[in-house]
Structure 1
Amino acid sequence: MIIIFSILNLTFILLLRTIFIVIFGLAIYQGYLSVSKDSGKTNHKISIIDKYGSIVPYWLPLLEGSMNFGMRVISQYPKYISLLYGKYILPLLEIYIAYPILAFVVFFLLYYLFIRLDRPIRTSSFVRFHILQAILLFLINSVLGASYKSLPIEFRSSLAGLAVTNILFLFTVSTIIYSVIKSIEGQYPEIPIISEAVKMQISEINQ
């Protein structure tokens, strides 16, 4: 029975690694296509500062998702992914965990400075769209993380719990990578439900 469980566990981990590598590869390929398009045709409506400035707020949901899900499963991914995670994300994540109030301070500052009707900083709709979407992804990850932690420890430590953790972590990473690529392209991402909700909110703010 133990041998069968070990085989199933190994098979499951290999499958998850394969899925992650495919998603990562597609993201790199899409990024290459984006750079190729930008080199041949410049988007004059959205400045380079707006494009790359819109990437910064996505660190908030990335750290939240990494804290809730990534730390539990990152050791199961390929070694180079774990090394990148440990080098670039883990140092920030340690600060994020040590001072949890920082997340909500950044959250309220982003909303106060860039999103609300009487905001003190005036930016383009493109930048505000990405900031608001990053805020919404942060809230979604916070709710999912709290819901997951409320589940029995027996479930979270089981194979099914591991599957749920990986799915939630892949959701976080894939939506952020996709949004960052679209930001670099100077385009609006189309994440079902989430992006539509952001567009509706931005439209109301602009009225």
Structure 2
Amino acid sequence: MFEDKISQRLVPLPAYIFPLVELIYYFGLKLCLCFHNPLVDTICLHYVTPIRGFYEQNILVIFGILVLIFTTCSKGTIPLPKFIRFNIIQAILINIVISCVGQLYLLCPYQIRENYLLINLVLNPGTIGAIIIIFYACILVLLGRYPKIPIISEAARLQTQRGYSDS
């Protein structure tokens, strides 16, 4: 089914939508609003806000889908090539890291969360860095190479090796 290289490169790409949406949900509005640019504000209003609203309304369904995909790929119950399973697991692990950071951010007191210095020195560079990591992984997947992200790639490799049908 996934014998050709093109399908092996395209199948894992949709999995990287999950961490991107998670990033938009937690930090998208903060990033958009700090530019003070009418074009960015319009993009935020028309694109970021609806994605955030959809995620917020369907958060448990999306979580269930992620758990199902993760267990399927890590156990190897569906005979997928190792490259596909690795990249899907890596995308889900990136999603988990973003979710943990987002929850920690929400647990911070309001004065810390809305501190202008914290937002500009930590939050915005961290958000842009996470976006760069996601696009880096997508580009390498399209090139047919394994993305190497410290800690996350090793965890994805261990989960992939744990599977039953390594191919």
**Residues 12 and 87, structure 2, Cα contact 8 Å, conserved in 1:** yes
Alignment match, 1:92: 51
Cα distance in structure 2, aligned partners of 1:93 and 1:46: 35
Letter in 2 for 1:98: Q
1:141 aligns with 2:98: yes
What secondary structure sits across from 1:189 in the alignment? coil
TM-score where L is the length of structure 1: 0.69
What secondary structure sits across from 1:123 in the alignment? coil
Cα distance in structure 2, aligned partners of 1:46 and 1:81: 40
Alignment match, 2:139: 181
Alignment match, 1:60: 18
Say which of 68, 74, 80 aligns to 1:123: 80
Alignment match, 2:112: 155
Number of residue equivalences:
161
Q: 1:90 offset after TM fit, Å?
A: 4.1
**Residues 73 and 160, structure 2, Cα contact 8 Å, conserved in 1:** no
Unaligned residue ranges in structure 2 (runs of 5+) = none
Instruction: Report which stretch shifted further, 46-55 or 181-190.
Output: 46-55
Letter in 2 for 1:123: L
Alignment match, 2:158: 200
Unaligned residue ranges in structure 1 (runs of 5+) = 1-44
Alignment match, 1:166: 124
Letter in 1 for 2:116: L
CA deviation map 1:97-124 (0-9, x unaligned): 122112211211212333224x1x2111
Q: 1:83 offset after TM fit, Å?
A: 5.4
Letter in 2 for 1:96: Y
Cα distance in structure 2, aligned partners of 1:188 and 1:56: 16
Q: 1:194 offset after TM fit, Å?
A: 1.2
Q: Are residues 126 and 90 of structure 1, via their aligned partners in 2, closer, same or farther at CA, if it must alter by over 3 Å?
A: farther
| Structure possessing the higher radius of gyration over alpha carbons | 1
Q: 1:192 offset after TM fit, Å?
A: 1.4
1:105 aligns with 2:69: no
Cα distance in structure 1, aligned partners of 2:73 and 2:40: 33
Percent identical across equivalent pairs? 26
CA deviation map 1:120-150 (0-9, x unaligned): x211111101110011011101110111111
